[in-house]
Structure 1
Amino acid sequence: MDLLKLLNSPGWSWKLSGRNCIILAPSHDDATELLENCVDSLLSTAAVLKGNVQIGWRGCKRPFKITPEMAKIMMSEPSLHEKITMNQPNSDPKNNLLPELGFDLNELYCNPLPVYINQISDQRVVFANPAALAAQGKKPIEFLGESAAALNDPDELERRDAMLIRDGFLSEYQYNALRWYKDEETQLWRRKRMNFCSNFRRINFLGESCRLAIVLQAVETGKAVG
């Protein structure tokens, strides 16, 4: 799909605002399709501008956003699909689909939005894509295997997981939580208050009942905490 040709077609508009590129799609479905089909071009745009690429639609309250940090991580190494098929020239892409997930793991890895998989039993992080690691400012060894309990309000997290276990999914769920960042002055890890909007799904991952989360929007809302 030709990104520039699409953006100049009827129903679409875009503009540059400083270092940021703001795209307005005709609908949410069009914005989602743009992410799926033009992710490489969008990442390149964020990297070149050294700014955010924001994708909204008419009536949108929570636009998609690709940051230069996401672009740097996702463009600096081969994709998971390339790694899987590097020594398998006849590999069928359908083989990447895990029946227990209902998703292609490569799609989760390459998603420009932060994606997390946590064990519900102890909240340990068992998967985080490059966008998620960039959002937390941590390397895989620093983040994977750790409990996310410290980033969530215990009562809200218990209520969220109860709804997820009951219903199987939560769509555009809004909640307050925390996100890691490194204090530049002290070089210590701290947490900042955030308001999130995410899609959740309960899945069976590696034999464990887990929570799959795709963060649609994250807005800093308060002062940092220890």
Structure 2
Amino acid sequence: MHGNEISGKVAFITGAGSGIGRAAALGIAQQGARVALIGQNCPSVEETAHLIEKAGGAALAIRCDVANENEVQAAVACTANSYGRLDFAFNNAAKQGGVIVNTSSTAGVRGFARQASYVAAKHGVIGLSKVAALDYASDNVRVNVIAPGLSKTKIFERMTADNEHGADQFFDRIPLGRPGEANEIASTFLWLCSDAATYTTGAVFVIDGGLTI
């Protein structure tokens, strides 16, 4: 059964070809949203669209480099033209009365030695999101941040494959003793898009199995 607050609305999901982005797209589509799938890897994004459509949902695959402002604007316009509205955004722009969920990481809430550029960028995502939450609150646009720790994505698989000790050295640092699943990260995005979170803005949700305690 689709939740009334999400069914029929439109979500704009970046990085939708794999990992957390794909999990978020599949999850919100299952709740009845129409989904614009954004990514540079066309086959992967189209595969996500196929999975959604196979399950009876509606999806639009759009090739876009999110580092290119013109391409992002074109992707947002394509979504609005195709579906007539835009309600939720995972990482990018939204319209009036919408929800923006940006992705930082645990590097946005702590420091890591010899990772100055990465840590600065992730702290910046949180700072910009807090400013945006203030700037757009009067338009009823809520802006929040998720900060995942280690999760089972292709990046994590590459990290552990290149290390002789595999994943164990990473798990030892996590109180829950394992990496997160993509759907565990995506579920926070889904909650932030729902009516259960209508009074939540400017918040940072750390999802790391206790790593930063």
TM-score, normalised relative to structure 2: 0.25
Structure ID, larger Rg: 1
Q: Which has the higher strand share?
A: 1
Q: Which has the higher helix share?
A: 2
Highest RCO, 1 vs 2 (Cα 8 Å, sep ≥ 6): 2
